[in-house]
Structure 1
């Protein structure tokens, strides 16, 4: 036994020494203490558990738009299903329009403070010098019997006290009457809905969202999700069925969530005919309302009203847009068991690019996202043109991007198309895979941007898209203000918002797909997550666990580093040593001379900076019998020597400077002009998270060694990734740029 222990001690001694040298950071330890523990509601595999439940809310809404006063009024009946195991004595509802009230928390400061030279628009953001009405007016809240229910409003949240406790498995119903003044979003930039005014023809496009009082989520991990709405953190909402009647001026056209129920009453005979043609057109859009008809319609200003009726099933929200300015086109897209109508609504100010590109981009998103997750289930997918925003809702999105004098730059066109793809893609995340946007915005924005960028890469390869290199400036930024991805959206700086919640999660998923797990296995696992949690409410833990469960890959090291810290990737190729094994019969005089220098009277080997000194010759001795312990068999040492004869042995030392552990990709460039690549998994850092040494045997002589040659891991410093080191970092950047 002593001999066995001696051998084991000799094997583990180097690791013990390294552990004593460096403080243990636990980069490979489980993240169980950082995420929601598994339960019968949410399993350790990342799937919904046998006791998983979620609430439901159905809505019947009647709304009317007063175009002159810009006031929207409505009445709604809510049927609320308590599927939880808990008895509820009150419920919480969202009143997002209250965020625009004067006494609400300021949003303007996010744009920066007072400056020596400041535009009047920026000053309006900061001071609200021009006052305007805003916020919900609640006329009444009544139970099913018509009795008033007590309510209390706290900013953007309304507490409704139930007259009798709502027990588990029971349903309650109540009615609400409300109104609010629609804000001019082009003047005040208060939110991503409102109206856009067109002075030339004295018309407006109304984008109606966050418009009706709606139920907050009540779930197993948070109870009531009733965080205040502060504009950037969006929504957590329950699924349900909607029946909505929208009354607008007779010459308006309405684009909406859901299926239009009364075509005969609101569309002309010619429009219905064109729409029927569009339902059979799978290759190109059909104009339902032409540009000429829209221009003519702008002049009508009807005083009569018309009601549009829509029905939507199993959605978590409802939004719509209306204007007399709309051009309308539509194209059919065939899925395995249904047809979806891709549609676009836009004013003449959007021509020609919107007619050429909008519906085409909608179809592109439908194709790629459906392949990557599950088929788009809804009857319509709508893109509405507006100025300088992108905002998503079930089946409909409001998308910026507009030419100037009929012309648009390539960059602006790419931005417009990317916005449409992104907002249509939100139908999957979070409109169906319904994560909590206010708490974990990256779960919808990051996952959606990941597929949005994949769609751009596949359908529009001429456009640039996010890669690991894109996130380097952010990750190499000021650590004092940087926050991890696992930060609530309301607590993130506006300057960091896009990079931290959109780009960084996207790059993280790209690294997993392309460089850690592999495309085929990752894609299957990502699809598994989407299908497990469609029409449900996943948390970060459910995503993390599903991707591990479906790939048989321990990814806790990745989640911990990429999502829970602000560490960065910076691997330094600190040393490469070149050896050859001395031939057994070689004379000592024939060995390669070893260069030495005197330091404080002691002989110390020179640290080579290139390969010009040639290899260091090393001897390989016979293995002592006691190294074998009790084993009687022996290695064929002659074969080992023969297999290494004439070979080049390279010992590579890599330091983890940035803190993030990542897989290691090493490119070997040989003196004959050829090259090859070795890939090491992230687990090579398990025993020492700060420095690793690896040995490679090569037939050819090496000219240069390069880490991360294809820039897969967002390494923030390329100047230390080569041996011999390049003269200037910029030269190495150019080398990588050429390879990419």
Structure 2
């Protein structure tokens, strides 16, 4: 008996265990919070005394200051540039620094540069013409890169240093304490690259007449940023991700051939030494011309100058305070025009330099586009603080520096140009001048977060271009990013990726963030809330180093809008938008209980006969066809009697009773949550637009339902009619369903065709 007892007990235990295991199989598993609207505390850095939870700089925020005094000489005969610089480094941090890091960007073009080695290679073509074969196989690599002659202490003693590709570490004699200043000097030279032959962001452009157009930048050893977030920002420069730099004061003297016209960052200190009396007079006239540019050097004068070649030199002297970089342009071929721009009661000069090869396009548009850009960016951010903005024409460039930028957009040799060339030139000037605001003043880390520079700038550029020409094709609207968003996921990167390794750099760093901000302004937040928050961010971080978290937090802090769902989806993932109309059910009114009503009554032990004549029922129309004898609200005496019992004031508040009822299910095949923008078209042709906030998806991110009770029959329902949300598949956006290509398929067909 005892054995039998234990046997029964063992069987029971085993059975219980098996049952428990079976139960465990069917139990839903636990999970972490994956809701699209969860907060971003897992992604953003913890606020601290240097960067607050509001997105503003904290009371302990610090940044370094670096001042430069430089003497530069341009050798036109050898196409070389020589320089010596005295650098004053202010340690405003709370840290003791054992060494300084200096950027040597020109070393990317040195003969021993590792930059070409990081790119994969293949024989793309089975055959080559003699010129392309020669360029690919017989030419020596361009001998670029800095030749450092010395690195010395202020007293002339040598400083210990080591060069690691595009970075140079200067070993300090003793740690630099907080609040201390270190002064040192560097002497250097390098061969200037031909932009159209050797590539590059700066260099020279050669012309058949033997003249050159020098657009010179990244030309001097520059201090890296040392900040509260990264410490030293000393990531190597591989050619794509741009530059993190400290603010400082510059005094620069540039010696060039005497017949050159030169412009640079900063204010010219010696106009009487380098300009003729006539040029000075014309420039003074330009300061008073707010409508049209004034020529300081005409095309006729430039054409005359380019026929000669002076053996003498002139030295141009510039000073610039609180800038993060310095660049200049020099050539005897330049036409030079300028006009004044009123920035909130303060005059700023808009200036253009261009060879005759840029005309007539450049004299018609360049300086006017510069002026428009300064005006529009100032409205959206802060008043432009510098004295001028200069646009310089070079055939294949689009690059920005404080107060000066280099831009493409060249007409045909006979002076004709296409609308595309004109649009490209207006776009690149707007974009590069706009970079004065981002990142030349709102000084984000371009090496780390390209989108904070290019994306924010491309967004404001879009608004400035549309102000210049309301029909301008910007390429930065939500509809423009659809082909990218709907593309091969293996070749997409989140916006929040370091720029050197992202796929499809242009859409990722420029178009997608710009389109996202446009969407925030026009669809999600509205211009009033967005503009105030964006302006707050811009003004908080003028002449400082913001991070992505500072931008995200400020936009929410200044608008009272929870946007974590948007940042998380649009910036941290490669999800896409696809919202459609899944189903539309039509209903009509009846006084007879429906099957659904009977089931509900049964569940709650209701006897519907007790409520005969007292209830109004919704019945689903079979196949969407409402019976001819369907009742209207006025047919129900119980409703009429109730309304009659109301006071006149209460009756006055009632609206016209609906006669048509629709239950619409919206689904979301795409991963992104977005507002649902719905356009209803009624039987009389009138339309109604309704926007539901993205939070409509908070409980069910796959599908939601809305009910429309109308006095007029609905003939069509369209989701996102103006393509505001970058929906990659519009074939499911309509009811009745319309057979049409999605936006992505249209683009694909256009390319393949």
1:365-421 deviations in Å (ceiling 9; x for gaps): 011001111111111100000012210000000000111121111111011011101
Q: 2:114 aligns with which of 105, 115, 119?
A: 105
Partner of 1:631: none
Task: Find out whether 1:131 has 2:159 as its counterpart.
Answer: no
**What is the rounded CA distance, in whole Å, between the counterparts of 2:467 and 2:627 in structure 1?**
47
Partner of 2:485: 475
Three-state SS of the structure 2 residue aligned to 1:729 is: coil
Task: Find out whether 1:264 has 2:272 as its counterpart.
Answer: yes
- TM-score normalised by length of structure 1: 0.87
**What is the rounded CA distance, in whole Å, between the counterparts of 1:397 and 1:608 in structure 2?**
65
* Structure showing greater Rg: 2
Partner of 1:177: 187
Distance 1:184 1:562, change over 3 A: same
**What is the rounded CA distance, in whole Å, between the counterparts of 2:443 and 2:232 in structure 1?**
15
1:581/1:645 contact within 8 Å kept: no
**Greater CA deviation, 458-467 or 156-165?**
458-467
Distance 1:615 1:418, change over 3 A: farther
Partner of 2:494: 484
- TM-score normalised by length of structure 2: 0.86
Q: Pairwise mapping of residues 268-417 of structure 1 onto structure 2 (< 5 A)?
A: 268-336=276-344, 338-404=346-412, 405-417=414-426
Distance 1:662 1:579, change over 3 A: same
1:237/1:316 contact within 8 Å kept: yes
Partner of 2:123: 114
1:237-294 deviations in Å (ceiling 9; x for gaps): 0000000000011111111011000001011111111111111111111111111111
Q: 1:548 aligns with which of 524, 534, 556?
A: 556
How much has 1:733 moved relative to structure 2?
10
**Greater CA deviation, 59-68 or 119-128?**
119-128
Partner of 2:524: 516
1:573/1:722 contact within 8 Å kept: yes
How much has 1:667 moved relative to structure 2?
1.2
Partner of 1:148: 158
**Greater CA deviation, 435-444 or 138-147?**
138-147
CA RMSD of aligned residues (A): 3.0
1:93/1:157 contact within 8 Å kept: yes
Partner of 2:701: 689
Distance 1:197 1:614, change over 3 A: farther
**What is the rounded CA distance, in whole Å, between the counterparts of 2:530 and 2:734 in structure 1?**
30
1:717-739 deviations in Å (ceiling 9; x for gaps): 011011110133379999xxxxx
How much has 1:607 moved relative to structure 2?
11
Distance 1:663 1:261, change over 3 A: same
**What is the rounded CA distance, in whole Å, between the counterparts of 2:35 and 2:218 in structure 1?**
44
**What is the rounded CA distance, in whole Å, between the counterparts of 1:154 and 1:47 in structure 2?**
35
**What is the rounded CA distance, in whole Å, between the counterparts of 2:136 and 2:40 in structure 1?**
42
**What is the rounded CA distance, in whole Å, between the counterparts of 2:508 and 2:594 in structure 1?**
60
Distance 1:676 1:122, change over 3 A: farther
Partner of 2:636: none
**What is the rounded CA distance, in whole Å, between the counterparts of 2:315 and 2:60 in structure 1?**
43
Three-state SS of the structure 2 residue aligned to 1:652 is: strand
Partner of 1:234: 242
**What is the rounded CA distance, in whole Å, between the counterparts of 1:668 and 1:715 in structure 2?**
18
1:581/1:644 contact within 8 Å kept: no
**What is the rounded CA distance, in whole Å, between the counterparts of 1:20 and 1:701 in structure 2?**
46
Three-state SS of the structure 2 residue aligned to 1:541 is: helix
Partner of 1:727: 739
Distance 1:646 1:294, change over 3 A: closer
Distance 1:77 1:286, change over 3 A: same
2:194/2:203 contact within 8 Å kept: yes
Q: 2:723 aligns with which of 707, 711, 714?
A: 711
**What is the rounded CA distance, in whole Å, between the counterparts of 1:186 and 1:394 in structure 2?**
24
Task: Find out whether 1:459 has 2:468 as its counterpart.
Answer: yes
Q: Which runs of 5+ in 1 are unaligned?
A: 1-18, 592-605, 621-634, 735-740
Partner of 1:202: 210
1:605-630 deviations in Å (ceiling 9; x for gaps): x999974466998999xxxxxxxxxx
| Matched residue count | 681
How much has 1:21 moved relative to structure 2?
13
Q: 1:91 aligns with which of 84, 100, 103?
A: 100
**What is the rounded CA distance, in whole Å, between the counterparts of 1:524 and 1:398 in structure 2?**
31
Task: Find out whether 1:561 has 2:569 as its counterpart.
Answer: yes
Distance 1:522 1:646, change over 3 A: closer
1:403-460 deviations in Å (ceiling 9; x for gaps): 1121111111011011101100000000000000110010010111101110111111
Distance 1:23 1:92, change over 3 A: closer
Task: Find out whether 1:433 has 2:439 as its counterpart.
Answer: no
Three-state SS of the structure 2 residue aligned to 1:232 is: coil
Task: Find out whether 1:28 has 2:40 as its counterpart.
Answer: no
**What is the rounded CA distance, in whole Å, between the counterparts of 1:328 and 1:185 in structure 2?**
22
**What is the rounded CA distance, in whole Å, between the counterparts of 2:135 and 2:450 in structure 1?**
24
How much has 1:142 moved relative to structure 2?
1.1
Distance 1:307 1:269, change over 3 A: same
Partner of 1:12: none
Distance 1:53 1:197, change over 3 A: same
**What is the rounded CA distance, in whole Å, between the counterparts of 2:122 and 2:144 in structure 1?**
24
How much has 1:580 moved relative to structure 2?
2.6
